[in-house]
Amino acid sequence: MTTATDDSQSPSTLGRVLLGLGLALQASEDFRDMDDTVEYAESAGVPMPDLAAPFASGMMVVAGVGIALWRLPKLATGAAVTFLGVVTATMHDFWNADPDDRSGERLAFFGNLAMFGAALVFLKEAYE
């Protein structure tokens, strides 16, 4: 028989830290070559990609750190859910991709879908 202890929160804490760090580190990669990030956003039809791409990347770095540290969790998880909900279907629409790009876009789509699901779980947790 098990009893509820502080240890019962460790999977949630570990998952939150891993999700937050994953989001922040992935977004920080965009800043290593922002020209490519802007070009990719432009090719996907993102309006004002010169502003939208760095803003979105910065938002995800801040959201990821907020999730990992559980600071302003409603704002952090809400930003991640919003970003992933929009970007997953619009930037990684593998069904519209060229055959040469389809596999990579499919992989990015399903990776984002998994992160979106995790962010939704933590969004719910933030409101409890």
Q: Where are the domains of the chain?
A: 14-126
Smallest CA-to-CA distance from 53 within 74, 20, 29, 77 is with 29
Question: CA–CA separation, 14 vs 20, rounded Å?
Answer: 10
Q: What pLDDT, on the 0 to 100 scale, is given for residue 28? A: 94
Q: What is the pLDDT of residue 19?
A: 97
- Quick one: tokens of 1? 């028989």
Eight-class DSSP state of 4? -
Q: Could you read off the pLDDT of 108-124 as tens digits, one per residue?
A: 999 999 999 999 999 99
Q: How much is the pTM?
A: 0.86
Evaluate whether 30 touches 61 at the Cβ level (below 8 Å): no
In the numeric block, which tokens belong to residue 33?
């070559």
